[in-house]
Amino acid sequence: MANEKIQRGTKNMLTSDAMTREDAVKSIQIGYDTAKQAIADGNEMLLLGEVGLGNTSASSAIVATMLSLTVDEVVDKGSDISVKQFEHKKQVIKDILAARKPDQSDALGVLSKVGGFEIGATIGTMIAGAETGVPVVMDGFISDAAAVLAKAIYPEIADHLIASHLSGEKGAQRVLDYLGLKPLLQLGMAVGEGSGAVVALALIDDIQSVLVNMNTLQDLNFEYEN
């Protein structure tokens, strides 16, 4: 457990940027340093997860910006909300993008304008894993959004990411297509909190066991006869 508070939450994106660029950098650095320490402690894989409320809205704003998509193409209901609340959610995100005008050529600016500290920390974790050759298991839509920004900073990032599952959020498939990743699981999950990454871990262990322990035809001296 590491206590790395930056601020008491981000700001209202309708009226100001979510955070300063300095705090955006700080959030990435915290994730980077924490991941580097975990790797130094002997961990051979990093699993992502976050705890947040409303961060699917921030993630939708990021994905819409970075992939040049409309809000309607990206936004889903997230938590269990009514149709009226869903329409309001989409309008709020449209208003945020109109007010903040994030520029897809400036990933740090996008994070500072419409992101969250947990998204920044996730970006840092991904970059740390990529730099050290340690695979990073993505979770849901929040880590999808972080991956899109991470790719803008570290173009080869997708080579080091494992998509644990396809999130139930509408924009999730667009992100995985952009990254060139295929999800290990498709369970319609929209929970976050590392749940998808943990569920996929057992499958990853099984895949590793097959690759390491399964005999090849050459090992068995197996030959075909005409």
Taking residues 44-57, what's their average pLDDT?
87
Taking alpha carbons only, the member of 96, 152, 111 closest to residue 20 is: 111
Walk me through the domains of the chain, giving residue ranges and CATH numbers: 21-213 (3.40.50.10210)
Query: If you average pLDDT over every residue of the chain, what do you get?
Result: 91
**Looking at residue 103, what is its pLDDT?**
98
Q: What is the pLDDT of residues 13-38, one digit of tens each?
A: 999 999 999 999 999 999 999 999 99
| Res. 78: pLDDT tops 70 | no
Phi, psi of 138 (to 5 degrees): -70, 160
Q: How confident is the model at residue 81 (pLDDT cuts 50, 70, 90)?
A: confident
CB 86 within 8 A of CB 46: no
What is the torsion angle, in degrees rounded to the nearest 10, for the CA atoms of residue 209, residue 210, residue 213 and residue 219?
-170
Phi, psi of 46 (to 5 degrees): -115, 130
Bridge-based pairing state of the strands 161-163 and 46-47? unpaired
Q: How confident is the model at residue 79 (pLDDT cuts 50, 70, 90)?
A: low
Q: What is the pTM of this model?
A: 0.89
Q: What is the pLDDT of residues 158-216, one digit of tens each?
A: 999 999 989 888 999 999 999 999 999 888 777 766 777 888 888 887 787 778 887 77
Q: What is the pLDDT of residues 111-167, one digit of tens each?
A: 999 999 999 999 999 999 999 999 999 999 999 999 999 999 999 999 999 999 898
Maximum distance among all alpha carbons in the chain?
Answer: 75
Across 58-84, b (16+ Cβ under 10 Å) vs e yields bbbbbbbbbbebebeebbbbbeeeeee
Residue 73 annotated in active site:
no
Catalytically annotated residue among 22, 193, 223, 225: 193
